[in-house]
Structure formats: C-alpha cells, structure tokens
C-alpha cells in the first residue's frame, strides 16, 4: 500500500519533462510565424530544452545529495511554472529560448529528485518495479502529448500549451508540497571536489555503463520514432491525423500495459532473464522493420514498432534499477549521470542520425540492431558467474 501511494505521487512528477518537449509540437509552425523565424529555428526550443535537461542533472545530482530531494524537486517545479507563465507574454525568440533553457533546468531538478528518491527507499528488485511504472509514464507521454497539443492549439492558440504546462505545475506542485516527503538525510559536509568526482567511480563501473547504455539506446529509439512518425504517416502512407492518433494511442496503451505487467513479472522471474527477453524482442522488431520496409501498408511499420515498444518497456525499469542500486550512498549523483546519458546522449545520437538523412525506418532498424551485441554481452556476463543477488 505504501509503495502504491508513492507511485501515485511520483507518476505525475516524471511527466513534466516529456510534456514540455512534446505537447506543443503541433504548434511549432504557428509559433514560427508568431516569432517571425523559420520553423527550423523554432525547433531550437526543443534542442535547448533537452540540452539543459541533460546538462543540469550533473549539477542537481550532487546538490540533492547535499540538501535533500524535496527542496530540489520543489525548486524545479517553481522554476518550471514561472518560465511557462513568462513564455506566454514574451515576443522575442531569444528570450523564449533563454526561458526554455531555464525550464529545462527546472524539469531536470524534478527528474533527479524523483529517481534518487526511489533509490533511497528501495532495494534493486523493488526499485526496478517502481522504475517500470515511472518509465511507462515517460514513454507514453510523448505519444499522447502531441494529441493534446493539437487540440489546444487548434481551439485556443499556441499559448494555451504553455498555460496547460503552468496549470500542471500548479496542481502537482501543491501535491508535491503536501505529499512528497524527504527520503534522504543530507550530509553535513560541503559539496567538495571529491563529492563531484563520484562520477568517476560510476563511469568506471562496467555494470553502470552497460545498463545505462541499454536505457539510453531505448530512449533514443523512442525519441526517433516520436519525432519522425508524423512525417512518415503524412508523406509515406498519406494518412490523416485521425489514423495517426489511433496508431499512436495503440502504441501508448501497449507501453502502459507492459510497464504495469513488468513489476509482476519481476516477482516471478529473475531480472536478468527479463532483460535478455527484452533485448531479444527489440532485435526482433528491428528485423521485422527491415524485412517489411518496402511494404506500403502502415501496419507493416507500426506493428514492429509496437513490438519494439514491448521490449523497451521490459528494459527501461529493470535496467534503471540495475544501474542505480549499487550507488545508494550517492543516489542523487548516480541518477543525475544516468539521466544525462539517457537524455543528452540519446538526443545527440538521434540528431546525428537525422542530420545524416536516415529515414525513420532506417533509424529504428539501426538502433534495434545495436541491441545484438548487448544481448551477447549480457549472456556472457551472466555466464561468467551466477549472480548471488539481484
């Protein structure tokens, strides 16, 4: 019961970041006209947000280890709220981008606090279960937020998206103030160089790097799909927004269902086994996409994508728990470095793939096939020694 109550509090907290990235995607052309800039320049609002979201984690992690999770989370929500409100009134693209940078920092503080608080409270098995729920929400938000953004922009104008963000921050800021309790006893020592250098210990951990890389690659695959899918539906399959919304919703429902199922699977199967199955499913989805790439039926694209989403859903929570649990003493810093790699590096990889003019199908196939050596490494790691603990 205590775990369910905590999950109910944390679930909306992990929505802040994907909401700020995806909800106003349908409004970008309108915003570009409003700010009198090309759409390609208006897209910098996404890039800058993701950049600050990743970069800020390297700082907020140690800070949360110093002063606690609760004050960092509340500071992040207040920053997120203020920047969303101010962006409603400004007319300068330069000021808008500056505010988005600070909004990314606010979202970053929220993410670090949430993930660190889970590591504070639970062991590897329990953490993996909770991370599965949280990552399910993170995964489905990019699928549903653009639908909400399209409705808001069409009926109330582009500024309504930022009003929605502000209202979201107010509602769940009040909930956090009332129900998000401190999970960590701050150290009395100052933030020293040795504290910051805890990152070196994490980077030198093969286990941390391995599981973090799996999560990063999963996040990159999902980001590539969300950013490219609208173009695929419109230009390749000649489909309207209604059909697009139906397929997106089906993918989102699948993600939610698997993430709800994963904690129950963890109770009955070894986490290592679930991870290997997840890796295999992702590889299967890539093979299907490759085999069906010349098919003109939208199902030939979306069914492999949905299969891949099942694999990612099995991997995200389990691998997050495996990566972070060994660093309980520095959970904030560990969550920060983990988040930086997951978000910033994945965004860089997707940007590079798009700059090289790979199609959506080609990107997803390449990312999926990268899981083949990861599956081989996982089998080798598990065969070297039988794990004595999860």
Token couple for 231? 């173009």
- pLDDT at residue 153 greater than cutoff 60: yes
In a domain, 47, yes or no: yes
In a domain, 389, yes or no: no
Closest to 22 measured CA to CA, from 115, 107, 149, 133? 149
Give the residue from 219, 190, 182, 266 showing the smallest Cα distance to 370: 219
Q: Within a 13 Å sphere around the CA of 379, how many CA atoms are in the beta-carbon half?
A: 9
| Sign of the C-alpha dihedral computed for residues 342, 347, 353 and 359 taken in this order | positive
- CA end-to-end span of the chain: 23
Tokens of 290: 């490759």
- Residue 310 inside a domain? The answer is yes
pLDDT at 208 > cutoff 80: yes
Domains identified in the chain, total number: 1
Of 86, 53, 76, nearest in space to 163 by CA: 86
Helix axes 2-13, 159-179, angle to 10 degrees: 150
Q: Does the pLDDT value for residue 198 go beyond 90?
A: no
Report d(CA 42, CA 241) in Å as an integer: 22
| Structure confidence by residue, pLDDT tens digits, 342-373 | 877 887 887 788 778 788 888 899 999 999 99
**What is the average pLDDT score of the chain?**
84
Q: Where are the alpha helices (DSSP H) in 14-90?
A: 16-22, 28-35, 39-42, 44-55, 57-67, 69-86
Q: What is the pTM of this model?
A: 0.74
pLDDT at 163 over 90: yes
Token reading at 286: 């890539």
Q: Measured between alpha carbons, how far is 80 from 211 in angstroms, rounded to an integer?
A: 30
Please report the pLDDT score of residue 305 as a whole number: 93
Tell me how long the chain is.
390
Judge whether 251 and 285 are in contact, CB under 8 Å.
Answer: no
What's the CATH code of the domain at 377? 1.20.1250.20
SS3 content of the chain, % helix, strand, coil (to 5): 85, 0, 15
Distance CA 76, CA 112 (A): 10
Has residue 362 been placed in a domain?
Answer: yes
Is 66 part of a structural domain of the chain?
yes
Instruction: Answer yes or no: are the C-beta atoms of 23 and 161 closer than 8 Å.
Output: yes
For 55, counting Cβ atoms within 10 Å of its Cβ (0-12 exposed, 13-18 middle, 19+ buried), the class is middle
Range of the domain at 172: 2-181+192-384
Give the pLDDT confidence of 209-263 residue by residue, as tens digits: 999 999 999 988 887 787 677 667 767 788 766 677 678 778 878 887 887 788 8
Q: Give domain status of residue 390, yes or no.
A: no
Does the residue 213 lie in any domain?
Answer: yes
Q: What is the pLDDT of residues 111-145, one digit of tens each?
A: 888 888 887 887 767 777 787 778 667 766 766 78
Residue 157 lies in a domain: yes
């Amino acid at each position: 019961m205590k775990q369910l109550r905590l999950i109910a509090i944390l679930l909306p907290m992990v929505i802040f970041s994907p909401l700020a990235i995806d909800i106003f995607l349908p409004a970008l052309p309108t915003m570009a006209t409003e700010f009198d800039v090309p759409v390609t320049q208006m897209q910098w609002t996404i890039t800058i947000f993701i950049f600050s979201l990743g970069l800020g984690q390297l700082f907020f992690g140690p800070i949360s280890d110093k002063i606690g999770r609760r004050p960092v989370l509340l500071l992040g929500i207040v920053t997120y709220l203020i920047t969303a409100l101010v962006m409603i009134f400004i007319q300068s693209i330069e000021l808008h981008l500056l505010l988005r940078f600070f909004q990314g920092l606010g979202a970053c503080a929220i993410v670090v606090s949430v993930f660190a608080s889970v590591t504070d409270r639970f062991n590897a098995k329990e953490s993996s279960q909770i991370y599965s729920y949280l990552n399910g929400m993170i995964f489905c938000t990019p699928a549903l937020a653009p639908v909400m953004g399209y409705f808001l922009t069409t009926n109330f104008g582009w500024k309504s998206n930022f009003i929605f963000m502000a209202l979201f921050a107010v509602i769940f800021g009040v909930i956090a103030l009332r129900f998000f309790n401190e999970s960590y006893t701050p150290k009395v020592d100052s933030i020293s160089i040795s504290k910051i250098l805890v990152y070196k210990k994490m980077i030198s951990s093969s286990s941390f790097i391995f599981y973090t890389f799996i999560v990063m690659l999963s996040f990159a695959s999902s980001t590539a799909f969300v950013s490219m899918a609208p173009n695929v539906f419109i230009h390749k399959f000649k489909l309207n927004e209604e059909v697009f919304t139906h397929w997106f919703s089906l993918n989102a429902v699948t993600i939610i269902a698997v993430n709800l199922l994963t904690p129950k699977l963890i109770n009955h199967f070894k986490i290592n086994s679930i991870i290997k199955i997840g890796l295999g499913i992702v590889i299967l989805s890539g093979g299907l996409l490759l085999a069906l790439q010349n098919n003109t039926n939208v199902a030939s694209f979306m069914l492999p994508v949905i299969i891949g989403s099942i694999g990612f859903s099995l991997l995200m929570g389990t691998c997050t728990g495996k990566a972070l649990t060994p660093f309980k003493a520095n959970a904030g810093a560990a969550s920060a470095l983990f988040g930086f790699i997951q978000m910033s590096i994945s965004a860089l990889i997707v940007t590079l793939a798009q700059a090289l003019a790979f199609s959506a199908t080609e990107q997803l196939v390449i990312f999926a096939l990268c899981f083949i050596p990861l599956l081989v490494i996982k089998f080798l790691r598990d065969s070297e020694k039988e794990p004595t603990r999860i």
